[in-house]
Amino acid sequence: MPTSHMPPLHSHFSGPYIERATALRRNPAQLAAAWRADGTRFLPVWEAQCLIREGAAARLRREEIGSELPDPAQGIFLGLEQGEHRFAFAVESRELPELPGQFGGLRDLVSNVPADDAGLLAYARGMINWHRQHRHCGLCGAPNRADEAGFVLACTSERCGSRSFPRLDPAIIVLVHSDRHCLLGRQRSWPADRFSTIAGFVEPGECLEDAVRREVLEETNVEVTHCTYLGSQPWPFPASLMIGFHAAAAVGEIRLNDGELAEARWLDRAALADGGVVLPPRASIAWQLIEAWHDRVPGPGLASFHRDGAFLRPANQPPEAR
Ligand SMILES: [Zn+2]
């Protein structure tokens, strides 16, 4: 199927919202100076929550933080905004910290801040979450310490010396379609009218296309004939990278083989238009995959008439992962 007419997907939580300046991570002297510089700003993460202030990510000055500011070795160098350094740090207190702004969960904040700030907050939270979940070496159990500005966690046991790197969980997400229908599913924890694309984690020993074929077959019994990559999206709930496809299939009988979905349906464009189903939020690649398929035929675009769904919390994740 020709795909050259499709616009490239630009996804929420991604894009050039910061210059990562990765070479600086191995320059401790320069980073130590940056930690004290006037233009440097700090992004706190507390209990997996981010701080916003006046409709934007809170970029705190040192004097606004006071005693909550950790030792520089605990800071994570995120990169440069307009040439000024940005660090993330974890607030370890159990009480709500007294910092200027409001802490909140990322799902609640994303629609209240500009897209670039949503990306920055998700990046900061993703790094801090990784540190919190890897305080100890997975091989020998000794404490880890941060290295390379927070982008390496190194085992403190000399005999072990294991080093680990920020973890992402690759997942495929796919809009399966025939000529006139697309295949959408509803997870058990979702409202009765909420539907989205098929998605699932890639497993060791699989390429992305293998994972597309397996997930669609397991969840709906539909056999995919071929698939086309459209784009990807960091999905920081907690650490996924969604890799988005369109996949062709013949309309076939749906069977929910693995019980992961409560329901799946073949829907034509009219069914999407009549408001009977609620689609995922527009900030998600799931929405973009559906929109790209829907808008292939002339007529009003999906965004012109379809209401936006809310960010839903999976029922099976611990609070810090949401
Ligand atoms: Zn170790």
List pLDDT tens digits, range 195-214: 999 999 999 999 999 999 99
For 25-33, what is the mean pLDDT? 95
Between 164 and 4, residue with greater pLDDT: 164
How far apart are the C-alpha atoms of 186 and 222, rounded to whole Å?
15
Check whether residue 120 and residue 230 sit in a common domain.
no
Tokens representing 150 are 């927070």
For 219-225, what is the mean pLDDT? 95
> Within 10 Å of residue 129's Cβ, how many Cβ atoms?
20
Position 62 confidence tier, pLDDT thresholds 50, 70, 90: very high
How far apart are the C-alpha atoms of 123 and 44, rounded to whole Å?
12
- Which range has the worst mean pLDDT, 21-30, 120-129, 226-235, 307-316? 307-316
CA of 146 to the centre of ligand 1 (A): 13
Phi and psi at 287, nearest 5°, equal: -60, -45
Phi and psi at 163, nearest 5°, equal: -120, 135
**Enclosing domain of residue 143:** 134-167
Check whether residue 187 and residue 279 sit in a common domain.
yes
CA of 121 to the centre of ligand 1 (A): 30
Check whether residue 208 and residue 287 sit in a common domain.
yes
> Within 10 Å of residue 60's Cβ, how many Cβ atoms?
23
For 28-39, what is the mean pLDDT? 96
CA of 147 to the centre of ligand 1 (A): 14
CA of 152 to the centre of ligand 1 (A): 13
pLDDT cut 70: percent of the chain above it: 94
Check whether residue 287 and residue 316 sit in a common domain.
yes
3-state secondary structure 280-315: CCCCCHHHHHHHHHHCCCCCCCHHHHCCCCCCCCCC
Predicted pLDDT of residue 315: 55
CA of 144 to the centre of ligand 1 (A): 8
CA of 67 to the centre of ligand 1 (A): 31
Domain count, the chain: 3
Interval 295-322: pLDDT, tens? 999 999 998 887 777 777 665 555 544 4
Predicted pLDDT of residue 8: 65
CA of 123 to the centre of ligand 1 (A): 26
Contacts for 197 with CB less than 8 Å, ≥ 6 apart: 173, 174, 175, 176, 184, 185, 280, 286, 289, 290
DSSP state of 96: P
Which CATH number is 89's domain given? 3.90.79
Contacts for 190 with CB less than 8 Å, ≥ 6 apart: 262, 312
The residue among 112, 133, 154 that closes a domain is 133
CA of 141 to the centre of ligand 1 (A): 6
7, part of any domain: no
Expressed in angstroms, the distance from the first to the final Cα of the chain is 37
Position 285 confidence tier, pLDDT thresholds 50, 70, 90: very high
13, part of any domain: no
- Which range has the worst mean pLDDT, 3-12, 141-150, 224-233, 239-248? 3-12
How far apart are the C-alpha atoms of 55 and 25, rounded to whole Å?
30
CA of 164 to the centre of ligand 1 (A): 10
Q: Computed over its alpha carbons, how large is the radius of gyration of the chain?
A: 22
How far apart are the C-alpha atoms of 32 and 48, rounded to whole Å?
26
Predicted pLDDT of residue 322: 45
For 74-95, what is the mean pLDDT? 96
| pLDDT at residue 242 tops 90 | yes
Position 251 confidence tier, pLDDT thresholds 50, 70, 90: confident
Check whether residue 263 and residue 317 sit in a common domain.
yes
Q: Which residues are registered as beta bridge partners of 242?
A: 171, 233
Predicted pLDDT of residue 177: 96
